Amino acid sequence: AQTVTQSQPEMSVQEAETVTLSCTYDTSESDYYLFWYKQPPSRQMILVIRQEAYKQQNATENRFSVNFQKAAKSFSLKISDSQLGDAAMYFCAYRSAVKAAGNKLTFGGGTRVLVKP
Candidates 9, 71, 103, 117; binder of another protein (CB under 8 A) is 103
- Rounded distance, CA 14 to CA 97, Å? 37
If one asks whether residue 110 binds another protein (CB under 8 A), the answer comes out as: yes
Contact 23, 94 (CB under 8 A): no
Chain-centroid distance of CA 75 in Å reads: 7
Shortest Cβ 16–another protein spacing (Å): 28
**110, 37, 89, 92 alpha-carbon torsion, rounded to 10°:** 20
Per-residue binding letters, 82-101, with another protein (x by CB under 8 A): ---------x-x-x-x-x--
Give the residues across from 90 on adjacent strands: 38, 111
If one asks whether residue 44 binds another protein (CB under 8 A), the answer comes out as: yes
Shortest Cβ 13–another protein spacing (Å): 23
Judged by CB under 8 A, how many residues of this single chain contact another protein?
Answer: 24
